[in-house]
Structure 1
């Protein structure tokens, strides 16, 4: 989905859920569209948007992120660093992608290969338990922090 198309689709989704598309919400949404590959915390979003729109408060950022998560536009992630981070939802994925989290610099990157499908089949067969989703996080050191490049 191209950036402007994604922006307009999300604005329409907000309207369909009876939310106003305020200039503040538009600014926050633009930050996610511009930083689509990042996993942003509310504080990071606030720092990005205050340069463009200084009257936006941190409470507005939190409320907007909660709304976007409630309507399924964003996914909330907890990477164990005490901050909730947000990323765009990928409704076309069967499962969420996985995350690689650097313990030194805090960088979060994505790992898209779903290697757990065979494990899910074993779980279903042995335990008669149908897995509908999973969340996998790998903690370690990125190539910049590990020194091996």
Structure 2
């Protein structure tokens, strides 16, 4: 049984061709790659797969509900997805070209935990997006 089939079954999802193909695209993405539903749809079309855009949206929503993917809203509400990872990480986004970089900073994570504790909160989830302009070679899209 393939890894993606195992992951889908563990998440309580029936193994279907569209789910497997979409999971494979997300799994093969490089670290820091984030795909919109439209990006995934275009990749599937390029692979000759007959999967509609509505199906891609539905599968991504199912994956998110099952904890398989994380959804981010980087560019004015434009949703992008990545496979969910146990490692906590944050994102910095170029406001000109949309390039996204991931980073992990244990000191920053610890400081957020300290702030939450000082304010009487237990953190259940965290998201940090930093916005700026690429230092070198930014080309506005």
TM class, shorter-chain normalised?
A: 0.7 to 0.9
Q: CA deviation at 1:24?
A: 1.8
| Alignment gaps of 5+ in structure 2 | none
Alignment of 1:55-74 (within 5 A): 55-74=50-69
Change in 2 beyond 3 A, CA 1:23/1:129: closer
Could you list the per-position Cα deviations for residues 67-117 of structure 1 after superposition, in whole angstroms to 9, with x for gaps in the alignment?
Answer: 1111111011111333111011112x3xx3110100011011101113141
Conserved? CA contact 1:36–1:88, under 8 Å: no
TM-score by length of 1: 0.79
Distance in 1 (CA, whole Å) between partners of 2:91 and 2:63 is 21
Distance in 1 (CA, whole Å) between partners of 2:16 and 2:115 is 48
The structure whose RCO (Cα within 8 Å, separation 6+) is larger is 2
Q: CA deviation at 1:17?
A: 4.9
Q: CA deviation at 1:136?
A: 0.8
1:103 and 2:95 matched: yes
Corresponding residue pairs, total? 136
Distance in 2 (CA, whole Å) between partners of 1:133 and 1:18 is 22
> Which residue does the alignment assign to 1:19?
13
> Which residue does the alignment assign to 1:35?
29
| Alignment gaps of 5+ in structure 1 | none
Across the aligned residues of Structure 1 and Structure 2, the Cα RMSD in angstroms comes to 2.2
Alignment of 1:1-149 (within 5 A): 8-37=2-31, 38-91=33-86, 93=87, 96-114=88-106, 115-124=108-117, 126-142=118-134, 143-145=136-138
Distance in 1 (CA, whole Å) between partners of 2:25 and 2:37 is 11
